[in-house]
Amino acid sequence: MVRKLLPVGVIIAAFLVISMAVTAYLLMQGERADRAAAAREIIVRLTMINNEIQRERAYVTAFGHTDMQHEGVQREIAATDEYCLLLLPQIEAMTDDDGVLRHQRDTFAAIVPALEQLVDIRSNAGDHSASPFETFGAYTELVEIITETAAELHGELDIPALQRALELQLLALMEYLARERGYGMAALTGAIPESQLNQPRQVNLAALQRLQSEIHGTHSADPTFGMLLVALLTDISRLHSVAGRGESAQTGDAAADAEIWFNSMSGHIDAARLLHTRLLVPAGRDTTQ
């Protein structure tokens, strides 16, 4: 029996179709990897700028309504502005018509208008158009916009669902800690009356405790980062015996006490931010420059 061979043209055509499909797949995978790398870089930068805004929030709320020229206030404003100058051109480059994250343009749409609000927030604090409590709230709305953008960008990352969940939980953890830092400074300086401060502060502490329990219950046994996580959560848990007071750092000087509280809380926040970055960025890569 003689086997009938396929015409050479059909074989070549089939080969070309397969070759084109493989090439398209490889290009798609390469583009996906590029998008993931760009998203990681932007998420780290968004987290960094959020950190600066959270620090600025604490100082402007505690000191800005009496002295916007306060050394700490001016230091934190300058740091925030520096990060904005670094971040905004990068977002523009990555989301222009040829940018690797051009399809995420709508995701970033809220960032620039949000950051532009900083001018008004600072001005309103300086001329007393807003109370310290209102100033704290305005900064918090800005932080939430940036956090939501970072959370959406996590969808670009090809990582296990549990890791993605932990990264998002750490973003929330940092904000709860930063709010407690700001509330504590405002309490120590008397910038916000206790009648206004107690309820939101207790709500924030309760949310912080719930989140700690969720993170510990879900991730503490992870062989890669579980030990680091348990150490972080154990350290944070010590806050609950002093949080709501801040007086544990009393020196008799309200401004000095506020600085001590700020530095103490910042240590916890920086530890959470470091862990978040270690999870997010592969070893050997530097996205801070």
Over the stretch 170-194, which tens digit does the pLDDT of each residue have? 999 999 999 999 999 999 999 999 8
- 186, part of any domain: yes
Nearest CA among 150, 261, 142 for reference residue 201: 261
For residue 172, give its domain range. Answer: 35-280
Of the ranges 71-80, 95-104, 122-131, 156-165, which one carries the lowest mean pLDDT score? 95-104
Q: Residue 131 pLDDT > 90, yes or no?
A: yes
Tell me how far apart the alpha carbons of residues 226 and 53 are, in angstroms, rounded to a whole number. 29
Question: For the chain, how many structural domains are there in total?
Answer: 1
Residue 152 host element (H or E): helix 132-153
- 47, part of any domain: yes
pLDDT of residue 95: 79
Confidence of residue 17 (pLDDT cuts 50, 70, 90): low
Residue pair 276/167 in contact (Cβ under 8 Å)? The answer is: yes
The arithmetic mean of pLDDT across residues 47-76, rounded, is 95
- 13, part of any domain: no
188-212: pLDDT as tens digits: 999 999 899 999 999 999 999 899 8
pLDDT of residue 30: 47
Nearest CA among 190, 176, 175, 177 for reference residue 63: 190
pLDDT of residue 27: 38
- 8, part of any domain: no
pLDDT of residue 13: 57
Tell me how far apart the alpha carbons of residues 165 and 154 are, in angstroms, rounded to a whole number. 10
| DSSP sequence for 244-266 | TT-GGG--S-HHHHHHHHHHHHH
273-287: pLDDT as tens digits: 988 888 887 644 444
Q: In this predicted model, which residue has the larger pLDDT, 22 or 219?
A: 219
- 28, part of any domain: no
38-54: pLDDT as tens digits: 888 888 888 999 999 99
Spatial neighbors of 22 by CB under 8 A, at least 6 apart, are none
- 82, part of any domain: yes
Taking all residues of the chain, what is their mean pLDDT, rounded to a whole number? 82
Neighbour tally for 49: CB within 10 Å:
23
- 146, part of any domain: yes
Residue pair 157/34 in contact (Cβ under 8 Å)? The answer is: no
Confidence of residue 241 (pLDDT cuts 50, 70, 90): low
- 27, part of any domain: no
The arithmetic mean of pLDDT across residues 252-271, rounded, is 88
Q: In this predicted model, which residue has the larger pLDDT, 10 or 234?
A: 234
The pTM of the full predicted model, rounded to 2 decimals, is 0.83
Nearest CA among 284, 27, 39, 30 for reference residue 159: 39
